[in-house]
């Protein structure tokens, strides 16, 4: 931009005034300003309280994935995202899983880790022993911060201490292991970690710097499995193709990144719909995938004795129903109601099932007809719209591009011109 990005006092202005300043600074048109002013189901006041320097809102399409049967219950799954074919793929995969009863998902409980970093510790190993000796006092101090959570059966349950060798010398890391109940738990755990820090300094004789939750939520895992009948997925060849696809991801991080991205297509879309911290979900997923020192798939695929396809997924799923946008965003609240989940772990289990379904759908498409056929059919509508098609022209242009197998912006532009001329004539 040509103007300065130092917008003095921007944070103090109302939304309306911020938009005026923005308009001047960026030469946005009235229409563009209107597009970003819309806060959707959020009131402008709520939006203004959620983050800083708010000028408006941003809306994703919200779709409902159908056919899901998880732990012998049916679910309609809200998904918010911009990518075509994800909702259709999830619904289709869930339909194929139904023949064998759908998805079975378990979880390890809503347990998060809060880390306290202590540096300049004179005797790290001795400090570790002293901290462990004071375990009960430290847990008590942590739990004093959140009587509500403790009253619900949650709270700090364990203390771990490790000595790390780092580029800045040895460090003592004290870890609070906290059951966060129906909360994602970042605020709750961070508050506890901050509260125990002075005690930890006193016990160790060191200096505390960081006091923060770990997003490698490896004590908050979901484990999902599903069996896909050989006949339902398209035969033995497709089953073999999916197993080979998994083996490829297991052996190669370049493939594995995309394999895991496909899982996150589902997980993140449900996460957004239900007001979750999707950065935390992504960080948890990819750090867990790398826990062996090699980046690995979050799912496995194999065959059972009948030749059916068996998929499993294991990944952290730090989600909450209290706190964050799950509580403040009206659409998130409605989506949680659509799902009908009663606890954070139930939501985590649904998201694990969706991740597995999404991965299956992508691998099946890749292993058979290729991803582009289905994808591009849906994508063609987006290309048509971006080339200027409106109303009935969207489908007409999209259809023509699919027929011609030329789903490209330049062709869409030509077709828009051609077909609108024809329609006028």
Spatial separation of the C-alpha atoms in residues 59 and 37, rounded to whole Å: 11
63, 316, 320, 355: residue in contact with ligand NAD (rule CB under 6 A)? 320
56, 102, 154, 266: residue in contact with ligand NAD (rule CB under 6 A)? 154
Q: Count how many Cα atoms sit within 13 Å of the Cα of residue 396 in the half-sphere of its side chain.
A: 16
Instruction: Look at the chain and count its residues.
Output: 425
Rounded to 5 degrees, what are φ and ψ at 173?
Answer: -120, 115
Q: Which is nearer to ligand NAD, 107 or 215 (CB)?
A: 215
Residue 83 a catalytic site member? yes
Of 39-47, 176-184, 216-224, 304-312, the segment contacting ligand NAD by CB under 6 A is: 176-184
Q: Which is nearer to ligand NAD, 271 or 352 (CB)?
A: 271
Question: Least separation, in Å, of the C-beta of 156 and ligand NAD?
Answer: 11
Pairing of strands 169-179, 309-316: unpaired
62, 121, 155, 182: residue in contact with ligand NAD (rule CB under 6 A)? 182
How many binding residues for ligand NAD (CB under 6 A)? Answer: 23
Told to check if 277 binds ligand NAD by CB under 6 A, we report: yes
Task: Assign 81 to helix, strand or coil.
Answer: coil
Per-residue H/E/C for 347-387? HHHHHHHHHHHHHHHHHHHHHCCCHHHHHHHHHHHHHHHHC
Residue 48 a catalytic site member? no
Annotated catalytic residue: which of 23, 157, 261, 377?
261
Q: Looking only at residues 197 through 216 of this chain, which bind ligand NAD when binding is defined by CB under 6 A? A: 213, 215
Q: Which is nearer to ligand NAD, 180 or 225 (CB)?
A: 180
Residues 6+ apart with CB under 8 A from 312: 223, 224, 225, 299, 300, 356
Residues 6+ apart with CB under 8 A from 276: 184, 270, 319, 320, 324, 325, 326
Of 4-12, 66-74, 122-130, 144-152, the segment contacting ligand NAD by CB under 6 A is: 144-152
Told to check if 114 binds ligand NAD by CB under 6 A, we report: no
CB 242 within 8 A of CB 310: no
Question: Least separation, in Å, of the C-beta of 328 and ligand NAD?
Answer: 9
Q: Which is nearer to ligand NAD, 182 or 346 (CB)?
A: 182
CB 224 within 8 A of CB 354: no
Told to check if 346 binds ligand NAD by CB under 6 A, we report: no
Which residue of the chain is nearest ligand NAD when measured via CB? 323
Spatial separation of the C-alpha atoms in residues 4 and 256, rounded to whole Å: 42
Question: Least separation, in Å, of the C-beta of 83 and ligand NAD?
Answer: 23
114, 155, 271, 324: residue in contact with ligand NAD (rule CB under 6 A)? 324
Residue 234 tokens read as: 């398209």
Catalytic residue numbers read 83, 261, 277, 375
Query: Site residues (CB under 6 A) for ligand NAD?
Result: 146, 148-149, 152, 154, 180-188, 190, 213, 215, 277, 280, 320, 322-324
């Amino acid at each position: 931009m040509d103007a300065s990005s130092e917008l003095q006092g921007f944070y103090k202005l109302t939304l309306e005034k911020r938009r005026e300043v923005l308009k001047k600074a960026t030469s946005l048109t009235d229409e563009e300003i209107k597009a970003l002013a819309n806060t959707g189901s959020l009131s402008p006041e709520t939006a203004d309280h959620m983050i800083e320097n708010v000028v408006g809102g941003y809306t994703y399409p919200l779709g409902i994935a159908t056919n899901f049967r998880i732990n012998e219950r049916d679910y309609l799954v809200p998904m918010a995202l911009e990518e075509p074919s994800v909702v259709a793929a999830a619904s289709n995969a869930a339909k194929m899983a139904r023949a064998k009863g759908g998805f079975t998902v378990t979880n390890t409980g809503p347990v998060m880790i809060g880390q306290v970093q202590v540096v300049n510790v004179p005797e790290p190993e001795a400090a570790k022993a002293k901290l462990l000796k004071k375990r009960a006092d430290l847990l008590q101090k942590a739990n004093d911060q959140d009587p509500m959570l403790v009253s619900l059966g949650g709270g700090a349950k364990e203390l771990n201490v490790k000595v790390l060798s780092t580029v800045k010398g040895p460090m003592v890391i004290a870890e609070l292991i906290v059951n966060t109940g129906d909360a994602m738990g970042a605020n709750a755990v961070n508050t506890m970690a901050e509260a125990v820090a002075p005690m930890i300094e006193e016990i160790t004789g060191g200096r505390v710097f960081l006091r923060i939750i770990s997003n490698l939520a490896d004590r908050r895992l979901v484990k999902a499995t599903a069996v896909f009948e050989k006949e339902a997925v398209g035969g033995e060849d497709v089953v073999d193709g999916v197993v080979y696809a998994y083996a490829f991801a297991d052996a190669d991080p370049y493939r594995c990144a995309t394999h895991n991205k496909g899982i996150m297509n589902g997980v993140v879309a449900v996460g957004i719909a239900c007001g979750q911290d999707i950065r935390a979900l992504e960080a948890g997923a990819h750090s867990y995938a790398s826990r062996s020192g090699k980046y690995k798939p979050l799912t496995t695929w194999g065959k059972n004795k009948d030749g059916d396809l068996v998929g499993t997924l294991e990944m952290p799923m730090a989600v909450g129903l209290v706190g964050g946008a799950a509580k403040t965003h009206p659409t998130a609240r409605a989506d949680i109601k659509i799902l009908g989940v009663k606890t954070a772990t139930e939501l985590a289990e649904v998201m694990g099932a969706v991740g597995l379904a999404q991965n299956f759908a992508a691998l099946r498409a890749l292993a058979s007809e290729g991803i582009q056929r289905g994808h591009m059919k849906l994508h063609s509508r987006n290309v048509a719209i971006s080339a200027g098609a409106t109303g009935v022209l969207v489908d007409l242009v999209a259809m023509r591009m699919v027929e011609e197998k030329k789903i490209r912006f330049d062709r869409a532009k030509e077709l828009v011109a051609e077909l609108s001329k024809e329609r006028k004539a």
